[in-house]
Amino acid sequence: MDYPSFTEAEMLAEQPYNAASKKEVNDARKKEARLRKEELSYVNKIMSTREGRKWMLNMLNICKTFTNPIVAQDTHYTYHNLGEQNIGKKLLQDINDAAPDQYILMMKEARGAK
């Protein structure tokens, strides 16, 4: 292991903020808000095209967002499904925050595709 590089990498890592400092707390909040705005912008871009909506619905289905994740007699598979569903629920929340009208359109398009 290259210890000097490791130490430099540690120094470059984001330092935790001081929760007692109002300035540092506000800076952290602003950074988090900026990052969230960027995430929602990505989701909005994906949902703005028919192909993007099709892809997103596929991801929601892969994550078992709209199905029952419980597998009788198999807790490991149930927990696996719950983990996937948690990701799907996060995507669904992002869609609802960024592009609720496109979500409705996505569902209408999916109904028409069958």
Q: What is the pLDDT of residue 114?
A: 56
SS3 for 99?
A: coil
Could you tell me which residue, 100 or 25, shows the higher pLDDT? 100
The amino acid at residue 96 is N
Q: What is the pLDDT of residue 38?
A: 96
Token pair in block for residue 51: 């192909």
The answer to whether 66 touches 60, Cβ cutoff 8 Å, is: yes
Query: pLDDT at residue 71 above 70?
Result: yes
The answer to whether 98 touches 40, Cβ cutoff 8 Å, is: yes
Handedness of CA 74, 80, 82, 85 (dihedral sign): negative
Mean pLDDT of 62-74: 95
Q: What is the pLDDT of residue 94?
A: 98
Could you tell me which residue, 88 or 24, shows the higher pLDDT? 88
- Report the chain's mean pLDDT, rounded to a whole number: 90
pTM recorded for the entire structure: 0.76
Domain boundaries, the chain: 3-113
- Smallest CA-to-CA distance from 92 within 48, 45, 57 is with 57
b vs e for 26-37, b when ≥16 Cβ sit within 10 Å of the residue's Cβ?
eeeeeeeeeeee
Handedness of CA 48, 51, 53, 56 (dihedral sign): negative
CA atoms of 41 and 55, how far apart (whole Å) = 16
pLDDT tens, position by position, 2-54: 555 556 556 556 677 788 889 988 988 999 999 999 999 999 999 999 999 99
